[in-house]
Amino acid sequence: MDATAAVRTGCPFTDKRSAVERAENAPTEMCSPVSETIGAGEMPVANWINVAELREDPYPTYARLRNESPVAWVPAIKKVLIASFAGCLFAEQHPEIFSNNVSGAHMTRAFGGQPMIRQDGADHSAERNVINQTLRPKKIKEVWEARFIANTQTYLDALEDGGPGADLNDVFAAPLAAKNLIDLLGLSCVAPADVARWSADFMAGAGNVLDDQDIWLRCQRSREELGSALDEAFARLRKNPDDSIISLLIHSGMPEESVRANVTLTISGGVSEPQHIMTSSVSLLTQHPEFLSWAQEEPTRFEQVFQETLRLQSPIAMITRETTTDTEVDGFRIPGGSQIGLLLASANRDVLAIENPDEFDPTHEARRHLGFGSGDHLCAGKWAAEAAVGRIAVPALYERFPTLRTDPAHPGTWNGWVFRGFSSLPVVW
Amino acid sequence: MISATFNHPEGTTDTLQIDPGVSLMKAAVLNGIGNIIGECGGQAMCATCHVLVQPEYRDQLPPLGEDEDEMLDCAATERTEGSRLGCQLKAGEHFSAIEVDLPEAQ
């Protein structure tokens, strides 16, 4: 069995956090010079990378990385970045080398425990298998689709009430993504706006490398609010088990502290991604009316729109790993103990893996992408997201508002690069 | 080492010698055998390691698991009697030799 050869197939996508805002928040003066310990001299140093430019438009930086040095030490981010499809896939296919058990306790502190996303192997599988039970396609269809449809109708009504010019992100995408997650988790009496706020606070905490006390306080306050909601959910679901994630976790025998950490993880990672795919889909379909007509002819084609949007505007651009041993990727040696950023958003535009990768073309079936990650940490919500967004929310938007498009007078705003999406997107119809 | 033969839809064939305990999916993915993806790493959360086991090798295999059965219904190529997920079949534990056809699409 070959453990080191670079591979060409695969797919990946998975989790996130941690390095996340660490990278987003790192001001330039924080960025140390080339590390003495991490691979300096072993691989190219990309000291031209600028976090402000990544936030503005990350794709030119990704293209230059792929062309010049698909594996590079990046001082501004304090990581070895892997930008090629083959390299990211290789890492995802070798979890014994590219560990999720990343050093640094920010996520543990922010979440109040070690969630499954930071575990490897059997420890991870034992927890992951519990939630997989309700996240496979059959349960999605039998249990969750009806909820997703009802929630979609609620926020379509809200959008209609808002009228042309309403912000699709605020009025529809964000609350719908949060409400779907509230249902999947099994929380009740919780407002979508609160869950969205908790999500933002937890993500800020997971990346709080500067030890900003205000962020820790926000994180703690949100954890306490979630804690109260969980106390209620634990009591209710202990008596009356159902198909929700919290119910499955508490009845699996998992310690409460771990359940809380895993729910916190789910809230951190489960809101903004479906939210961003909804707004990005509408933006891309506005720019490409020919593909909107094509999808409206046969609404199952919106599933391909979903996949192509996820590929082209991957809402999680980077996931973090740590090497357990020396390894080699794309011909570059990476020492053990290196902090790694897998640039999924770059891999998904790698011309060596995808034809015309910068073009939006949902008519190509199977444009393979790493938008969900690949391997053991493949996004647990993959099937739920495909249903909730690709099969339900986006087609329903165009069924209710067939002429829906972004407002040419008020272009939307983008935010973030590790987690990237519209922070506002006014629409008209 | 346990022998596994993969017949590709394009007409070519690959054969691997697999260490005991390693799944058919993992062996294929790590050795660059095309037409197998193994997206979820082996937790029966996708159906991208769909293989069609040749009749003479089926009897030795364990019965279909519930999750495996469900995911095969989602396979990109319609399932047949010999359909299995490669991630659920481990060399030595589940087969002493095997030959599979790979589907047109995963």
Residues whose CB is less than 8 angstroms from the CB of residue A111 and which lie 6 or more positions away in sequence, other chains included: A202, A205, A206, A223, A260, A261, A264, A265, A268
Per-residue model confidence as pLDDT tens digits over A231-285: 999 999 999 999 999 999 999 999 998 999 999 999 988 999 999 999 999 999 9
Residues of chain B contacting residue A121, judged by C-beta atoms under 8 Å apart: none
Residue A18 near residue A207 (C-beta atoms within 8 A): yes
pLDDT in tens, chain B (106 residues): 999 999 999 999 999 999 999 999 999 999 999 999 999 999 999 999 999 999 999 999 999 999 999 999 999 999 999 999 999 999 999 999 999 999 999 9
Band of residue A35 on the pLDDT scale cut at 50, 70, 90: very low
- Say how many CB pairs under 8 Å bridge A and B: 77
Least Cα separation, residue A220 to chain B (angstroms) = 33
* pLDDT single digits (tens) A282-327: 999 999 999 999 999 999 999 999 999 999 999 999 999 999 999 9
pLDDT at A313: 97
Out of A2, A374, A380, whose CB is closest to B39? Answer: A374
Position A210 scores a pLDDT of: 73
Calculate the CA A398 to chain-centre distance.
25
* Out of A93, A132, A137, closest to residue B30 by CB: A93
Distance, CA of A420 to chain centre = 9
Instruction: Tell whether A137 lies on the interface with B, counting CB pairs under 8 A.
Output: yes
Position A304 scores a pLDDT of 96
β-pair type (A405-406, A413-415):
unpaired
Over residues A107-158, the pLDDT tens digits come to 878 888 888 888 888 889 988 999 999 999 999 999 999 999 999 999 999 9
For residue A8, is pLDDT > 60?
no
A136 at the B interface (CB within 8 A)?
Answer: yes
Q: What is the pTM of this model?
A: 0.89
C-alpha to C-alpha distance for A233 and A21, rounded to whole angstroms: 30
Partners of A426 in the β-ladder:
A167
- What is the pLDDT at residue A307? 96
| Length of chain A in terms of residues written | 429
Taking an 8 Å cut-off on Cβ atoms, the answer to whether A1 and B30 are in contact is yes
A7 vs B29: CB contact, 8 Å cut-off?
Answer: yes
Give yes or no for A7 touching B (CB within 8 A).
yes
Closest by Cβ to B39, choosing from A128, A378, A380:
A378
> Whole-number mean pLDDT of chain A?
88
CA A365/CA A351 separation, integer angstroms: 17
| B104 in contact with A, Cβ within 8 Å | no
Distance CA A50, CA A193 (A): 33
**Which residues, 6 or more positions from A100, have their beta carbon under 8 angstroms from its beta carbon?**
A15, A117, A118, A119, A120, A124, A321, A377
Residue of B nearest to A380 (CA): B45
* Residue B17: closest C-alpha in chain A: A1
**Alpha carbons A336 and A326: distance in angstroms, whole number:** 4
Residue in B29, B34, B46 closest to A93 by CB: B29
B1 reaches A (C-beta below 8 A): no
Contacts of A126 (CB under 8 A, 6+ apart): none
